Amino acid sequence: MRGFLKTLFGDARHVGTVVVCVGAVVVVMHTPLAAAAGFLLPVALLAGAAYLARH
């Protein structure tokens, strides 16, 4: 089961990175900066991909 989930969604570091990025944007969407979410999420996810590439 663990292999199945890891194949589909990656390891804990990977899932955690995406959860942090999306979670941050969910918070931003509830602030006056919501209009910036369209720029924030792509940049955050690219940074996440770069982080995962290094680790």
Partner 1 sequence: MISAIVATFLTASVEWVEAYTILLAVALSIGWRRAAFAGVCALGALAVLTVAGTLGLAHVGNLLVLQFVVGFFLVLFGVRWLGKAIARRAGLKKLHDEAEEFAALRARADIFDKRAAWVIAFNGVLLEGLEVWLIVVALGVQTHHTAAAAGAALAAAAMVLAAGFWARGPLAKVPENTIKFTVGCGVLALGTFWVLEALGYAWPAGEFSILLLFGFNVAGGLAVARAFQTTLAA
Where do contacts with partner 1 occur on this chain (CB under 8 A)? 3-4, 7-10, 14-15, 17-18, 21-22, 25-26, 29, 34, 37-38, 41-42, 45-46, 48-54
The span from the CA of 27 to the CA of 25, in Å, is 5
Q: How far is the CB of 12 from partner 1 (least distance, A)?
A: 12
Largest CA distance in the chain: 42
Residue number, 32 or 52, with CB nearest to partner 1: 52
**Residue 4 or 32 having the CB closest to partner 1:** 4
Angstrom distance (rounded) from CA 15 to CA 39: 21
Placement of tokens 């996440």 in the chain: 48
